[in-house]
Structure 1
Amino acid sequence: MALANSTTGVERRKAVDAQQPSHAPWPLVSLILGALSFIGMMVSIWMIFLYAPTDALQGPTQRIFYFHVPISWIGMLAFVVLAVASVIGLVRRDDERWDWIARAAAEIGTVFITLALISGAIWGKPIWGTWWTWDPKLTATLILWFMYVGYLMTRNYMGRTTDSARVGAVLALVGVVDVPIIYLSVQWWRGQHPTAMVGVPEAALPPSAVLTLMVALVTFTLLYAFLMVQVYQLQRLQTLAQRLRAIVE
């Protein structure tokens, strides 16, 4: 009985601690990031469809490039954030915030890597004549998608436990190896994708196209940061809800 009461007391203290307002000005941060993302997206859309020149070979279809590259970048960046947060979470086991960051990065990254595959297929159909080809870069990206899905399924199945965080960290460390492989695959193996440097084909792009791509990359990075803040707060509230439910039960 004493042990049960002690356990209940610990859970209650954790629930109260999670309920305490964060010292970080999250509402202000969300407002700033949301405003910058909205402005950046409006500017990016204008530049993509009106400012950037139409490609002489691919025509208007090439404009998907300005969405596909930033989306793919976020899909890879999110997995790096996932791996870093998972490792720090293992070292600092008493600080659940890192686990919330890892889960948030995994959920957002899954969406973006899925959109990267879809936008790549839409772009590839008129240019390559097929929706999918086992190009090294595409294959490596598909493997990263499976790593994302496997991570989310494992974490959801095992719940918010120490073992779940440990297994998730292992999956994150294994999967993050695929990120540099995706980036360097066009240099290591011959495939459909052109050789790239920071997402820009070696074939010289006009300055207006390069500027459009850079603005789109910054915009999608701001959007990713905005979504991270929202999903991080959602993870915190979900943890609190589960603890309160455990106390009531």
Structure 2
Amino acid sequence: MFLKPKGLMQITKSSLPWLLVFCFIFFICGIFLALLFSPDDYKQGEIVRIMYIHVPTAWMSLAIYMLIALLSFAFLVWNNVICGVLARAASSVGVVFAAVCLITGSIWGKGTWGTWWVWDARLTSMLILFFSYVGYLMLWNFFSDEARAMKSASVFAIFSAINVPIVKFSVNLWSTLHQPASILRAGGVAIDNSMLIPLIAMFIFFIFLFLVLWVLNSHKLIDTYKIKKEIVLRF
């Protein structure tokens, strides 16, 4: 049922209003906590607040690409076209999150390092992830045959997903200007609750924002995307 267009549309349409409500709630809470509850950094000052956008969009960029790779794998193994469509719907959101992550990171870097960009391991691997998103989307539009485009993009997503753990562990594997992990680390969380709570609230907001946009994109693709009827019948 979940992997059939009719069942998927029914479930997501009924859940969309709730997703919008939770998205709005966590946005208000996250912004309030980030601007008023969270203190400025004793070294970085007010610019540290950009992390409440930068960090969650970085996490989401990695998670969405892994989701795309898993859906692509499911499509290739079980030949379920809806998995490929869902991966395509997620990719257009992921590429925006990756772009926001890079832009906010550059602004943050200019304020703390004095430069917009450095070719260190974390930044470079994140840029590669952004181009992976772009490459995935380009493959969808490169072939006139929809089935071939879906298969090519799926194979690309699976193999290029190797960059996701590289992005995550780049600060541990190589010397880098980027600060090491502050939350998912062996020594425990290294960030005060006054910053951790707003960060988690904003992360949850971005999760719900992704779900809302993913649902809307999925509906659009199922209804209007250039997938031939004979392919749809194989769902």
TM-score (norm 1): 0.84
1:155 aligns with 2:144: no
Residue of 149, 155, 162 corresponding to 1:170? 155
Q: Is the 8 A contact 1:196 1:202 kept in 2?
A: no
2:56 pairs with 59, 70, 95, which one? 70
Corresponding residue of 1:14: none
Match of 2:232 in 1: none
1:167-201 deviation digits (Å, cap 9, x = unpaired): 11221012211111001000000111111044689
Of 214-223 and 33-42, more deviation after overlay is shown by 214-223
Is residue 116 from structure 1 mapped to residue 132 from structure 2 by the alignment?
no
Partner of 1:205: 191
Contact 1:41/1:219 (8 A) holds in 2: yes
Structure 1 regions of 5+ residues with no counterpart? 1-16, 245-249
Distance in 1 between residues matched to 2:218 and 2:139, nearest whole Å: 19
Q: Which amino acid aligns with 1:122?
A: I
2:29 aligns with one of 43, 50, 56: 43
1:203 positional shift: 8.4
The TM-score with structure 2 as length reference comes to 0.89
Query: Percent identity, aligned pairs only?
Result: 32
Unaligned runs of 5+ in 2: 230-235
Report the structure number with the largest CA radius of gyration: 1
Q: Does 1:180 align with 2:165?
A: yes
Q: Distance in 2 between matches of 1:215 and 1:195?
A: 21
Letter of the 1:169 partner, please give it. Answer: S
Count of residues in correspondence between the two structures: 225
The whole-number CA distance in structure 2 between the counterparts of 1:143 and 1:187 is: 18
| 1:91 partner amino acid | V
Partner of 2:233: none
Superposed CA deviations along residues 118-159 of structure 1, whole A, max 9, x for unmatched, are 010011101011111001000000111111111111111214
Pairwise CA distance, 1:226: 1.3
Distance 1:104 1:120 in 2: 25
